[in-house]
Amino acid sequence: MIRTIDTVIIGGGLHGLSCALQLARRGVSVAILERRWIGRHASTANAGGVRTLNRDLRELDLTLTSLKMWRVLDEFLGENCGFQQIGQIRIAENPTEFAHEARRINNLQQAGYTHEEMLDKASLYRLLPSLAPHCSGASYAKGDGAADPHLTVNAYRRAAESAGVLLLEGHGVNALASEGLEWRVDTDYGSFLTASVVIAAGAWSPALARLAGEIVPASVKASMMIVTEQVSEFPGPVIGCVGAALSLKQTRTGSLLIGGGLQGQANVERERTRVDFHALATGMSTPLRLFPQLAGVRIARCWTGIEARTPDDLPIIGPSSRLPGILYCYGFSGHGFALVPVVGAVIADMIVGETPTHEKWPVSALSIERFEHRKEDSDERYRQHG
């Protein structure tokens, strides 16, 4: 059976859901094709951090817009996503790191940004009284926070279904071919004819682009997370640290959720991951140095998630420069949860085409065109070797 629909979105993670919801609310008919089940991969494996702190300048404006959208997301979706504005902090453990952060924030402020501030030693210890005594200060974004990835996936799912999105789980896309001005998208359970295809398939996006006939850049991240047993009251903001992979916060149940980019192993083809216990043990030296009272706290669970990483650690958002009708939304490189509300709106505007997107959204630095020179090399290899 071949069905005709305005837009097909490949991948039922948070980005696919956000794009679908925004499109459906603009009157576009949409199907999400998800190979496993909604939220199967990075969208539920993540730490839920919503961070503008220390963001790359090329995606900062977009992230600040997304943060505003997070603040009203429960209302937009009609359900609670667990977003809490608890702030995010980046601790400088010595004067050199403190000076580095102070310079960074000074530059930001000179460029007109006010979302980050420096905390001197006294202010830092007022905020985190149980922190080990050696630290010098911190950078701090008090408007940042964190949400609950599972609540967020469920809320997006129900909002998308209510808006009329056709949501098909167990529908892996195995072929993509242009037919005149349209694309034909094949799964084992049927095919679709559509004017536009959004590839939002996380770490598997390059494989799908290849089905359509384009080589796109990406490698893989396999970030690890830990949940501890419940601990007594632990202070407010999401805690990071200059020069170390750390993100630490207390969940509503009292456990600590610790991540920050420590890498495990991933087998993308088999969709399998493995925790690297050696790397995990080494990485835990940072939270133990900052909070020695955590020694002896037991780990309840740990896992590794799979996510696409681009050469510059920034996502690829927008149309293919070579294949009309194909749009990319992937490569969030470990920090795409924070961008979910805004990226869906950007992609939907690109497809509906009401306002020239570059006038409305600050995404020109995130176009795939920034990798054109690399792609020419890869395309040549593809032509030669298939």
Interacting residue ranges for ligand FAD, rule: CB under 6 A: 10-16, 33-36, 40-43, 45-49, 172-173, 200-202, 204, 208, 223, 225, 247, 259, 305, 307, 330, 332, 334-338
- Is 16 or 362 the residue whose CB approaches ligand FAD more closely? 16
Contacts of 160 (CB under 8 A, 6+ apart): 17, 20, 21, 24, 32, 167
- What is d(CA 139, CA 115) in angstroms, rounded to the nearest whole number? 10
Q: Please, are residues 131 and 240 in contact by the beta-carbon 8 Å criterion?
A: no
Query: Does an H or E element contain 114, and which?
Result: none
Nearest-approach distance from CB 153 to ligand FAD, in angstroms: 8
- What is d(CA 194, CA 377) in angstroms, rounded to the nearest whole number? 30
Report the 3 state secondary structure along 43-64.
HHHCCCEECCCCCCHHHHHHHH
- Is 108 or 200 the residue whose CB approaches ligand FAD more closely? 200
- What is d(CA 215, CA 373) in angstroms, rounded to the nearest whole number? 12
- Is 76 or 125 the residue whose CB approaches ligand FAD more closely? 76
- Is 220 or 242 the residue whose CB approaches ligand FAD more closely? 220
- Is 98 or 185 the residue whose CB approaches ligand FAD more closely? 185
Nearest-approach distance from CB 334 to ligand FAD, in angstroms: 5
Nearest-approach distance from CB 99 to ligand FAD, in angstroms: 27
Nearest-approach distance from CB 15 to ligand FAD, in angstroms: 4
Map tokens 């305005």 to a residue.
Answer: 6
Nearest-approach distance from CB 47 to ligand FAD, in angstroms: 3
- Is 78 or 170 the residue whose CB approaches ligand FAD more closely? 170
Q: Using only C-alpha atoms, what is the Rg of the chain? A: 21
Q: Please, are residues 208 and 337 in contact by the beta-carbon 8 Å criterion?
A: no
Query: Does an H or E element contain 301, and which?
Result: strand 299-304
Nearest-approach distance from CB 131 to ligand FAD, in angstroms: 21
- What is d(CA 60, CA 53) in angstroms, rounded to the nearest whole number? 9
